[in-house]
Chains A and B, each alone.
Chain A
């Protein structure tokens, strides 16, 4: 069980993260708010509770690794890394601008970024490479990979799903942001994914389904993944694209469109962040 105080702290960080996402994407004038907002709690729980990492020493060999395979959610990753202390929060204002360390999609020039994603479908395989190397080197670090649900339409995801089981990668956890929406519309209309849990089960993964906004469920799932031996775990997190901003929720339109700067204060007010 989590301490009530811990829970409050995580919730507060999640609120601030949403605010930073809205502000930075609006300032940039482009970007992907929907898929950034949908996975806030999942990533906050990793960086502020679960993962062993050191913002003062981003290259620490034994750190746990996080790969944002759905790289378009970069504003989420950057907002979390900044709050964790990898770089000043003010940097977020430079998102997507010429010369910024905060590229439109994750890039090695940002401290704390583990992998340059942007082309969907690749991150889980890279995670397998990291997890294999950890075993080779006798290291205890864990690797977490956040996937979009639309991203799972890429065949490579399922190639990776097979490989992770072959090598019994119990140090690898995949997290699926199951928000039901991709760029053109609903996943189940564009290219149906269901029955999704059964697919992963058939590939012999340990499958856990959770509410992607309940910190206790999230952390419990991360712990169970760590306790599970000899096979990888996938956490299917049921989420809402655009979570927290009423007009963005469940709207494919807000997948890749920035709010106008004039809209920001209204959004923050509605979210109780002003």
Chain B
């Protein structure tokens, strides 16, 4: 599979899927925090005003209210920018949601560097790490609008807490049709020399990297690891055994994110040479999203050079 030239918007996918879910299930409620137009949860709010709660600029309050709604049997979605949920309220998420294992679905946008010119305060590059370290919490990072839509339904069906991170900008459509399940992954392209395991917007970059590498005769498997926790260990072990060289790519700190999750599986079950592409334990800064991806080494060419290196090292 190659990424298409069509662009999609994760937030539109999220908002529309949520509104559809609302018609299917009366027990779905949505909590917002003054960013409901931006997150497009307002689409749910227009249709079901009685099940929609805008708590204002009060993220800790919002996630805790979602906890109470879930305690009473609702499926509570709660959303704002990732800098603030989970960023501002990790304690409430841990103690009010994850510990009691409540049905709260946290969906946050503007994750990674994708908020661009707003700068470091708004660029959330730690969320996968913080959420992944909390017991009971599931962590998802869809690659495009289509997968976002599918995963909204998947997380509504799953029980217990879940965190899903979305990106801000319009982004290439990767999927036209596919199956998604929590704990699974999708092989978007098969290959034998190296496997690139990516999540979020980095999946499209990984596909571009595979194109670059193909021209050099390097055969690349590209795996969309949209479910970071639980993670598809079988797919990782198989990739390690089949290719013997793995590169991970994520718009997140290289500490604690997808790269770490994959390394944990690889080290324990199928040790092989590995490299992580990600933000190198630093805060971001203002700039256009694409400029930042280039500066922080997150473009297809960076993934490709990491892939070349692991291919060279395994020999």
Contact = CB atoms under 8 A, between A and B. Distances in A.
Given A99-B287, A119-B83, A119-B87, A155 B120 contact: no
Given A153-B57, A155-B61, A184 B34 contact: yes
B56 A98 contact: no
A98 B34 contact: no
B95 interface: no
B248 to A, nearest CB: 26
Contacts of A120: 57
Given A98-B291, A103-B286, A191-B56, A117 B34 contact: no
Contacts of B55: 153, 191
Contacts of A154: 57-58
A184 B292 CA distance: 28
Nearest to B42: A184
B119 A98 contact: no
Interface string A142-180: 000000001101110000000000000000000000000
A135 to B, nearest CB: 29
Contacts of B57: 120-121, 150-151, 153-154, 182-183, 191
A28 B291 CA distance: 14
A118 B285 CA distance: 12
Given A154-B58, A184-B54, A105 B38 contact: no
A247 to B, nearest CB: 19
Nearest to A190: B56
Contact of B58 (A28, A99, A184, A191): A191
Interface string B43-66: 000000000001111101100000
Q: Chain B CB within 10 Å — which of A29, A97, A151, A184 has the most? A: A184
A107 B120 CA distance: 9
Interface string B282-310: 00011110011001000000000000000
A98 B288 contact: yes
A223 interface: no
A87 to B, nearest CB: 16
Given A97-B286, A98-B291, A182 B56 contact: yes
B36 A118 contact: no
Contact of A184 (B35, B84, B121, B122): B35
A182 B116 CA distance: 21
A120 B57 CA distance: 8
A57 interface: no
Given A96-B286, A150-B57, A105 B118 contact: yes
Interface string B100-127: 0000000000000000111111100000
B2 interface: no
A98 B54 contact: no
Nearest to A106: B121
Contacts of B238: none
Nearest to A96: B117
B23 interface: no
Contact of B88 (A71, A100, A116, A119): A119
A105 B122 contact: yes
Contacts of A71: 121
A190 B120 contact: no
B285 A103 contact: yes
Interface string A75-102: 0000000000000000000001111101
A153 B291 CA distance: 35
A100 B61 CA distance: 35
A119 B58 contact: no
Nearest to B64: A155
A22 to B, nearest CB: 17
A209 interface: no
Contacts of B58: 153-155, 191
A31 B116 CA distance: 11
A151 B84 CA distance: 13
Interface string A22-36: 000000111100000
B117 A30 contact: yes
A119 B117 CA distance: 15
Contacts of B285: 98, 103
Contacts of B118: 30, 96, 104-105, 118
A269 B315 CA distance: 68
A149 to B, nearest CB: 10
Contacts of A96: 117-119, 286-287
B130 interface: no
B87 to A, nearest CB: 7
Interface in B245-276: none
28 contacts: A28-B117, A29-B117, A30-B116, A71-B121, A96-B117, A97-B117, A98-B288, A100-B286, A102-B286, A104-B117, A107-B121, A118-B120, A118-B121, A118-B122, A119-B84, A119-B87, A119-B121, A121-B88, A153-B34, A183-B34, A183-B35, A183-B37, A184-B32, A184-B34, A187-B56, A191-B54, A191-B56, A191-B57
Interface of A: 28-31, 71, 96-100, 102-105, 107, 116-121, 150-151, 153-155, 182-184, 187, 190-191
10 closest Cβ contacts across the A-B interface?
A: A118-B121, A191-B56, A98-B287, A104-B119, A153-B56, A96-B117, A103-B119, A104-B118, A153-B57, A105-B121
